[in-house]
Amino acid sequence: MSAETSAIEADGLGKRYGRRWALQGCTLSVPAGRVVGLVGANGAGKSTFLHIAVGLLAPTEGTISVLGERPGGDAAQLARVGFVAQDAPVYPWLSVGEHLQLGRRLNPSWDGELARARVERLDLDPGQRAGRLSGGQRSQLALTLAMAKRPELLILDEPVASLDPLARREFLQDLMGLAADRAPTVVLSSHLLSDVERVCDHLIVVAKGRVQVAGDVDDLLAGHKLLTGPRRDPGRMPGNQRVVQVSHTERQTTMVVQTTDPILDPRWVVSDIGLEDLVLAYMSGSVDGPPPAETPALVEVPR
């Protein structure tokens, strides 16, 4: 994937706090113009990566380029990236209207019409103090701020984690409308696949501070198979088949395998895999090993 079509390019990115690595050896590419889901368990390094991508954090090692530039380097670069942090922080003592004023004054590319229309449609009272908004309303306000600055890249860190199911659905629908309308690149993280699978067409799965797998949803589904058969050792698999996860019962072995070639071994019952099972297989990461050579460059190469 070339730099022109990437919104984010990270190479060997790592962040260490004291002796603990929050993120390590992260090499990935976020394709431009897509809605990208960053999925991983809590503490997997998602927030760390996103904070580096918006310039809030400086990496300990490795390089990252966002829209072709160093993240957060100057005001012009900051203007190109919209960000909603986890829990959608807003100033509790500022009213909704004052938040829009904040956005207008701090962003030269501010789209006041968009902001006003959104606030109206969401039924937010401009005179209401942000501290008295519900969690869902607060998220919507924060998203409005991030959208109305008209970013080329919109980054949302766990945008729905604190919302109830109804607010969650509304928020995601809203986000899909935005993505269709304005077509910025959107990256959203979640610890639950179900939050993002309906809106994302590209997935990056992180676990233990590393990228486990990344790719378009369709490619991921086409490139993985669920194999069921008599119990056997997964070590004896052909070289073009990478075992992602193995589980055994007394007589049966079930494996998630990454391969684009047909499975020829007649002892296996081969079936398609659902996205949920696929992501869970990577998140649980029961098999650690280098990916096969033909894996797309999106996949992290352990150092």
Q: Which of residues 104 and 232 has its CB atom nearest to another protein in the complex? A: 104
- Please give the DSSP secondary-structure letter assigned to residue 129: B
Q: Which stretch binds another protein (CB under 8 A): 80-88, 181-189, 197-205, 254-262?
A: 80-88
Rounded to 10°, the helix 135-148/112-121 angle is 160
Comparing CA positions, the residue from 252, 243, 257 lying closest to residue 289 is 243
* 50 contacts 38 by C-beta, under 8 angstroms: yes
Contacts of 10 (CB under 8 A, 6+ apart): 26, 27, 28, 29, 49, 52, 53, 62, 63, 64, 65
Query: Could you tell me the strand order of the sheet in which 6-17 lies?
Result: 20-31, 6-17, 61-66
Binding track, positions 54-73, relative to another protein; x by CB under 8 A? xxxxx-------------x-
Q: What is the 3-state secondary structure (H, E, C) of 184-202?
A: CEEEEEECCHHHHCCCCCE
Residue 85 interacts with another protein (CB under 8 A): yes or no: yes
HSE, CB side, 13 Å, CA atoms: give it for residue 187: 29
221 Cβ contact list (under 8 Å, min separation 6):
272, 273, 275, 278
CA separation for the pair 211, 197 (Å, rounded): 18
Residue 114 engages another protein in binding (rule: CB under 8 A): no
Q: In the set 11, 69, 98, 152, which binds another protein (CB under 8 A)? A: 98
Confirm if 279 and 285 have CB atoms less than 8 A apart: no
Instruction: Choose, by CB under 8 A, the member of 11, 41, 69, 102 that binds another protein.
Output: 102
Residues 251-290 as x/- pattern, contact with another protein by CB under 8 A: ----------------------------------------
CB of 91 to another protein, least distance (A): 6
Paired strand residues for 69:
66
Among 19, 20, 105, 251, binds another protein (CB under 8 A): 105
Scanning 49-57, 59-67, 165-173, 199-207 for contacts with another protein by CB under 8 A, the matching segment is: 49-57
CB of 56 to another protein, least distance (A): 5
Of 49, 83, 268, 282, the residue at the interface with another protein (CB under 8 A) is 83
Query: Is 53 among the residues that bind another protein (CB under 8 A)?
Result: no
Compute how many residues bind another protein; rule: CB under 8 A: 36
- Residue closer to another protein by CB (options 98, 277) is 98
Residues that bind another protein (CB under 8 A): 51, 54-58, 72, 74-76, 78-79, 81-83, 85-87, 89-92, 94, 98, 101-103, 105-109, 142, 145-146, 149
